[in-house]
């Protein structure tokens, strides 16, 4: 029985039906080689057709998906190390977020404006407004801080979780100051409809014969925490200062905080 190589073995009936042999196939020398070459060409035709089908399928997938990979899969329980949609990497200049009319309304005269140097670059900005004209003394402080993802934060370690932790810690320390802290316990009110979380607080400090009322408003917007504090000197053993209206202090701190939070949108 004759033996054929891999490429010279007889074709099956289906292949012969699809590609019938020539009507006048050469019978002389070389005829067998020509027939083998024809069979090889038919094999390459089939193989080439398969490649075309595979390429066409891949192209269809690319066209249907726009050629872009989908969002990366988030593994449940895994730490988040990148900023998420809605989170901010930087904050605006704190000295520019409050309209001049608002400053004049709550801090009459010509306040001295200073911007303390921050350590977090563009992720943090602070501003101080000071009025010292007896009987009026006011120190308004505004701080905007954008938190980054942090593996030490609670939950998934996202930037928002880091900001939430900072907000919660500040609220806890105002409600129950640490032992031996000079800060008095604050009267705290949780605010609704303002950022993602917000509260206002009022404290009265008695230091060296002086009495200072301090109104605080803190608001969290995604991964940014805005803190506004307004100090009003109600009594001093040097100079004629006071009295202070606590509702006016609270209203001023709220106005500055609302302006700062609005600048984040």
Mind listing the pLDDT tens digit for each residue in 89-144? 999 999 999 999 999 999 988 999 999 887 788 999 999 999 999 999 999 999 99
With bands split at pLDDT 50, 70 and 90, how would you rate the model's confidence at 52? very low
Please, what sign has the CA dihedral across residues 156, 162, 167, 170? positive
Phi and psi (nearest 5°) for 103?
-60, -45
Lookup: tokens for 148:
């980054």
CB-neighbour burial class of residue 159 (10 A; exposed 0-12, middle 13-18, buried 19+): buried
Domains observed in the chain: 13-65 (no CATH), 94-262 (3.40.1000)
Q: What is the pTM of this model?
A: 0.71
Mind listing the pLDDT tens digit for each residue in 217-233? 999 999 999 999 999 99
Per-residue pLDDT at 233: 96
């Amino acid at each position: 029985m004759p033996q054929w190589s891999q490429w010279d073995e007889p074709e099956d009936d289906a292949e012969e039906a699809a590609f019938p042999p020539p009507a006048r196939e050469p019978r002389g020398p070389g005829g067998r080689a020509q027939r083998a070459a024809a069979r090889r060409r038919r094999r390459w035709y089939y193989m080439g057709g398969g490649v075309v089908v595979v390429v066409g399928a891949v192209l269809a997938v690319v066209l249907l998906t726009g050629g872009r990979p989908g969002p990366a899969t988030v593994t449940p329980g895994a730490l988040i190390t990148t900023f998420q949609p809605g989170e901010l990497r930087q904050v605006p200049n704190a000295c520019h977020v409050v309209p001049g009319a608002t400053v004049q309304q709550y801090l009459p005269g010509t306040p001295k404006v200073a911007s303390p140097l921050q350590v977090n670059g563009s992720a943090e900005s602070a501003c101080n407004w000071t009025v010292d004209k007896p009987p009026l003394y006011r120190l308004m402080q505004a701080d905007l801080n954008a938190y980054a993802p942090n593996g030490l934060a609670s939950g998934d370690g996202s930037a928002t979780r880091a900001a939430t932790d900072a907000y919660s810690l500040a609220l806890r320390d105002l409600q129950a100051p640490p032992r031996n802290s000079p800060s008095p316990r604050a009267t705290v009110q949780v605010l609704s409809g303002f950022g993602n979380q917000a509260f206002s607080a009022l404290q009265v400090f008695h230091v060296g014969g002086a009495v200072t009322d301090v109104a605080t408003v803190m608001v969290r917007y995604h991964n940014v925490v805005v803190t506004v504090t307004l100090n009003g000197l109600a009594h001093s053993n040097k100079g004629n200062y006071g009295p202070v209206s606590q509702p006016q202090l609270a209203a001023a701190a709220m106005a500055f905080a609302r302006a700062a939070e609005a600048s984040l949108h």
